Structure 1
């Protein structure tokens, strides 16, 4: 039985990806492998580990994948240090994530510890506390119609999901509660 659903036009489409021939030979042609690598990098920036894994997943022989990744790093098509720094800046500034959450993401993406550490050096404790305070204030104000207990729980949970320690989250909420009680 296949997994399918009706499309808006009444045709049935399979939800499964097309089956790949598990017995297909690995790709050993350097030109074909480079073409695949450039296609992968065109869609999104990747760490060297991500590019290698994607090439191997597309059946490129692992030794050839390593050689392509090494060459692309040598000529600057892959820059793990620069990409890690960009990810840190955007995740912190745009999403408000903590260093801990960003570190986990970078590790998952295969960046080495030296690149992760150097990239995270852009954010110090004060930057992190300020960003958490901005997020907490905005969420606190959005929840103004709710009881203080609900506001507290939701702000602490939101900060926790972004990777901030609970001690910081509770300290910020206490500050917000105190500020609200002084305004009354």
Structure 2
């Protein structure tokens, strides 16, 4: 005779029963829209701080004029009034010094490249150096020093022109000095002396040389 059992386990109110079938009740909140993620807006750098960083980076290892730095700041979108304020501050503390820049430029380019005063002045103007500062810097080169440098340039070039005809030698040597900013009169005088030392006939130059 089979014994009948009518007992069933009582339900426990509030008890969490694992749902092995993955029912919706076991994943409360799944399917609800998630809050939209918004990235924080980029932090805007202060223009003055940005200008100072640009100037310091450009000045690292290479002196520059105020105009060169000012042009660089404007190209990078720094407002004009902010750029002027930062540049003036850099001048006050000696980080920008156009006078020293011009002096160093003349010293380096004359002795290193043999450039004459005219060529040096042209280069400094393109870099925004004031004309008064240019004149002061060029004052370290007198006419005698300029002529000595021209002679040294011709002496170094003279050997490579040997074997050329006289007129071609003249054009090559005088043209080299002209490209470096020497006047035509000085160039012809220096070249004539160099050719005469090698035994060249230079009487044809009398009509080209300016009166002393």
Q: How does 1:51-70 map to 2 (within 5 A)?
A: 51-70=69-88
Bigger drift between 162-171 and 37-46 goes to: 37-46
Aligned partner of 1:104 in structure 2 is 122
- Please point out which of 32, 48, 56 is paired with 1:38: 56
Matched, 1:49 2:58: no
Matched, 1:78 2:102: no
Structure 1 CA distance, aligned partners of 2:46 and 2:173?
53
Matched, 1:147 2:160: no
Q: Tell me: CA distance 1:43–1:62, structure 2 relative to 1, closer, same or farther (3 Å).
A: farther
Please identify runs of 4+ aligned residues in structure 1 that moved more than 4 A: none
Aligned partner of 1:120 in structure 2 is 138
Q: Deviations over 1:29-79 (max 9, x none)?
A: 211111111112126211011111111111111111111110001001111
Structure 2 CA distance, aligned partners of 1:61 and 1:43?
26
Structure 2 CA distance, aligned partners of 1:29 and 1:109?
24
Q: Deviations over 1:98-139 (max 9, x none)?
A: 000000100110000121111101100000000011101111
Structure 1 CA distance, aligned partners of 2:72 and 2:158?
42
The alignment of Structure 1 onto Structure 2 pairs a total of residues equal to 157
User: Could you say which structure has the higher helix fraction?
Assistant: 1
| CA deviation after TM superposition for structure 1 residue 28, in Å | 5.5
Aligned partner of 1:22 in structure 2 is none
SS of equivalent to 2:51: helix
- Asked which structure has the greater CA Rg, the reply is 2
Q: What RMSD over aligned residues (CA atoms) do the two structures have, in Å?
A: 1.6
Aligned partner of 2:153 in structure 1 is 135
Superposition TM-score, scaled by structure 2 size: 0.70
Aligned partner of 1:180 in structure 2 is 198
- Please point out which of 77, 82, 89 is paired with 2:107: 89
